[in-house]
A and B are shown apart, each in its own frame.
Chain A
């Protein structure tokens, strides 16, 4: 570049080892994990297992992708698991064969629940200045209550075939619908985050709220919107889950918020906001799902799995912290 200051010498712009590790650490971890699993259990890379991992990743991933938007603004959304369960139940209710409704109605009801709770979260956090942790903790409880109220906590059986296709079906006989939905969502989210003004404003709001405000950005609207995105994606995950397990169950989504946060954090997005990457979240999603699936195949006890996953999350953030010192 011609405008560069001649007085500043430019060395070869190689990355230091630290930077390399913090940028690609999770990716390297994922690749190593796959190699190790393949060596131990060649079945790990069988078509059906890969399909299985990706299908479950898609459901969890929807939450993590939405969470990435929220975390980038410096917030957090604890209600996603409850929203997932809530949307799952309400959509299942309208998808019962006895209701005799079009499957789109069920989907719209589910997404609508996400929209309502997300807007509620967003308005609380941005316009009423409720701290995100508290606001979404409250709506988590509200969503859970709404879920139980619908059927008095009883499961909803016998859903219509068209609805069930959303979770268990394969497009063209081999590609799970859930994966297709996830890919479409990802394409939209990547475009939003990196190709539009909106995405740039999200980074700006998270990086310095005051500077963003002074630059003429409607910061309240940006903050409000990310909670809507997060809730709608969580609702989508709930609908797919109900369709997959072919019934509405009130416990759907329980504890999923922590998983989603872990995936975002493994991907290198800073909880302080303003710094992070969507592809990192994708790696976070795959890393956690491969780990779960692999440990299952090896027959590792679930309780040990929890301990291992805890260390993985902390380790990933430690690696990322190496670069934060400068």
Chain B
């Protein structure tokens, strides 16, 4: 018998139907991967199961019984737990308080903290998690917060656990412990629905794979019945020739020179030169200072020492505004936090940094604006019913393309991409890579910050490696190798290993 049986699920947003009768089944003690491009409807389908969205049509059966799911608490009482892509713990509370939030053990009307910590310890031990229940959530790295979230789900007796891109912001080692945990959960008979775009993970962890496309089923396969090529093909409905459409371009004269740039505790003594036509990769572990450095190149923070030369002239950026007027664009790592104004429309988001172009004697030229946005939206292949819809109605990948569209409108000379394809499907990824290459080939320059090794190596002409806030090496395209990069990433970390790598401390 199936643990979960969803049939004919329909859902519309803003009058646009995004799920056209989707079927999905999950068996106990298995991992079922759910795959598809952005906007294929994976997250929407799972949010219907978790009670976040009320679906418009169809039936959900849990352990054979029709289930009425109207709210997240309905779903929870039926044993469904969802680990969201973006976690939202109560940061000021401890691990234990987060796990038992709303169900704290009580003695005479007061929270029984002794009991709370004892129970949490027992729970964490049973999951082989080595962490202190008294630690505040905000002190934990993302991966451990995720583990806490999973522990919480298990403590609530969830036997259906949905994981939406659980590995999008954690390191390889942390992925291993996540997989161990998944294996434990399977052994207990828990069913896991696993949403991810990472092929290697899917093939390691999934027992079954269901692919959605444009809000409908493409098919369901058992492990071993399908390979990567076929899987990609089924998701996009076309063959992707190469994931990285990198073309050789002649590298032009220097456009950006950075000399001995320093900001204490963020990055130290960084120098490099960026040339026209070049895609320059920046690689480093999370916390190595990559994003901090980019923030200063864009005027969000100001360096203490060193200088920045743009086309041979020294510049200082007091704010992002200065950087934008000098022709620099920044696709930030944090799409919702710094990239988009979620309540505003796609159109208004797209023109936000370039609005000056659509102003004539102080007044906005709304027709010209609309036309330009429509052109940009179609050239980047953003899937939407109308550019007047709020940008939050789009799927993650399409939102990211809106961020891209918005910067393309400013016609920049340099674009900084910080993790541009995090949590994005293969189809959109390939499209973003293509845009990046075309843009560089036109004599512009790209800085690409990436945690994904294949991406950095596939796209860059040169890779600079940062380690522990410092520069640790440079590789030309012919010298690229994963081993060399990994070694450079750890170059300045040997002496402080114990500080940075908590999991080694027992």
Minimum CB–CB distance from B351 to chain A (whole Å) comes to: 8
Chain A residue numbers with a CB within 8 Å of B14 are 13
Tally of chain A residues near chain B (CB < 8 A):
35
* Any A CB within 8 A of the CB of B79: no
Binary CB contact string for chain B from 381 to 396 against chain A (1 if under 8 A, 0 otherwise): 1111110000000000
Contact of B321 (CB < 8 Å), options: A191, A211, A218: A218
Chain A residue numbers with a CB within 8 Å of B385 are 4, 8, 10, 13
* Any B CB within 8 A of the CB of A307: no
Binary CB contact string for chain B from 169 to 194 against chain A (1 if under 8 A, 0 otherwise): 00000000000000000000000000
* A215 touching B364, Cβ below 8 Å: no
Query: Known interface pairs A1-B386, A274-B344. Does A9 touch B17 (Cβ–Cβ under 8 Å)?
Result: yes
* B364 touching A200, Cβ below 8 Å: yes
Query: Known interface pairs A8-B16, A9-B20, A200-B364. Does A216 touch B341 (Cβ–Cβ under 8 Å)?
Result: no
Chain A residue numbers with a CB within 8 Å of B338 are 208, 210-211, 214
Tally of chain B residues near chain A (CB < 8 A):
50
Binary CB contact string for chain B from 325 to 345 against chain A (1 if under 8 A, 0 otherwise): 100001010000111111110
* A214 touching B298, Cβ below 8 Å: yes
Binary CB contact string for chain B from 144 to 155 against chain A (1 if under 8 A, 0 otherwise): 000000000000
* Any B CB within 8 A of the CB of A152: no
* B343 touching A207, Cβ below 8 Å: yes
* Any A CB within 8 A of the CB of B300: yes
Binary CB contact string for chain A from 248 to 269 against chain B (1 if under 8 A, 0 otherwise): 0000000000000000000000
* B20 touching A326, Cβ below 8 Å: no
Q: Which of B129-137, B223-231, B355-363, B457-465 contacts A (4 or more CB under 8 A)?
A: B355-363
Contact of A11 (CB < 8 Å), options: B12, B377, B406: B12
Query: Known interface pairs A211-B338, A214-B320, A215-B324. Does A7 touch B352 (Cβ–Cβ under 8 Å)?
Result: no
* B337 touching A210, Cβ below 8 Å: yes
* Any A CB within 8 A of the CB of B68: no
Chain B residue numbers with a CB within 8 Å of A12 are 15
- Bound state CA distance, A89 and B377, in angstroms? 55
Chain B residue numbers with a CB within 8 Å of A203 are 341, 343-344, 348
* B363 touching A215, Cβ below 8 Å: no
Contact of A274 (CB < 8 Å), options: B213, B214, B300, B341: B341
A9's nearest neighbour on chain B, judged by CB, is: B17
Query: Known interface pairs A5-B384, A216-B320, A218-B321. Does A211 touch B341 (Cβ–Cβ under 8 Å)?
Result: yes
- Bound state CA distance, A9 and B215, in angstroms? 10
* Any A CB within 8 A of the CB of B378: yes
A7's nearest neighbour on chain B, judged by CB, is: B214
Chain A residue numbers with a CB within 8 Å of B359 are 196-197
* Any B CB within 8 A of the CB of A14: yes
Judged by DSSP, the binding face of A is loop
- Which residues of A in the span 205-244 have a Cβ within 8 Å of any Cβ on B? 207-208, 210-218
* Any B CB within 8 A of the CB of A195: yes
- Bound state CA distance, A196 and B356, in angstroms? 10
Minimum CB–CB distance from B154 to chain A (whole Å) comes to: 29
* B363 touching A195, Cβ below 8 Å: yes
- Which residues of B in the span 308-333 have a Cβ within 8 Å of any Cβ on A? 319-321, 323-325, 330, 332
From A9, A197, A214, A326, name the one whose CB has the most chain B CB atoms within 10 angstroms.
Answer: A214
B330's nearest neighbour on chain A, judged by CB, is: A214
From A208, A212, A217, name the one whose CB has the most chain B CB atoms within 10 angstroms.
Answer: A208
- Bound state CA distance, A212 and B343, in angstroms? 12
* B352 touching A217, Cβ below 8 Å: yes
- Bound state CA distance, A203 and B343, in angstroms? 9
B18's nearest neighbour on chain A, judged by CB, is: A8
Contact of B324 (CB < 8 Å), options: A3, A9, A216: A216
From A200, A211, A213, name the one whose CB has the most chain B CB atoms within 10 angstroms.
Answer: A211
Contact of B343 (CB < 8 Å), options: A13, A210, A215, A275: A275
Chain A residue numbers with a CB within 8 Å of B300 are 213-214
* Any B CB within 8 A of the CB of A92: no
Minimum CB–CB distance from A326 to chain B (whole Å) comes to: 7
* Any B CB within 8 A of the CB of A146: no
* Any A CB within 8 A of the CB of B353: yes
Chain B residue numbers with a CB within 8 Å of A208 are 337-338, 340-342
* Any B CB within 8 A of the CB of A100: no
* A13 touching B15, Cβ below 8 Å: yes
* Any B CB within 8 A of the CB of A282: no
Chain A residue numbers with a CB within 8 Å of B214 are 5, 7-8
Contact of A197 (CB < 8 Å), options: B39, B298, B355, B382: B355
* Any B CB within 8 A of the CB of A204: yes
* Any A CB within 8 A of the CB of B110: no
B403's nearest neighbour on chain A, judged by CB, is: A211
Chain B interface (Cβ < 8 Å from any Cβ of A): 12-18, 20, 39, 213-215, 298, 300, 319-321, 323-325, 330, 332, 337-344, 348, 351-353, 355-356, 359, 362-364, 374, 377-378, 381-386, 406
What are 27 A-B pairs with beta-carbon distances under 8 A? A1-B374, A1-B386, A3-B378, A4-B385, A5-B383, A7-B215, A8-B383, A11-B15, A13-B14, A13-B385, A195-B363, A196-B362, A197-B359, A197-B364, A200-B352, A203-B341, A204-B348, A208-B342, A210-B338, A211-B339, A214-B300, A215-B320, A216-B324, A216-B325, A216-B353, A275-B343, A326-B13
Given A191-B363, A216-B323, 11 new contacts (CB under 8 A): A5-B39, A7-B383, A8-B39, A195-B363, A195-B364, A203-B348, A204-B341, A214-B330, A215-B320, A215-B353, A217-B353
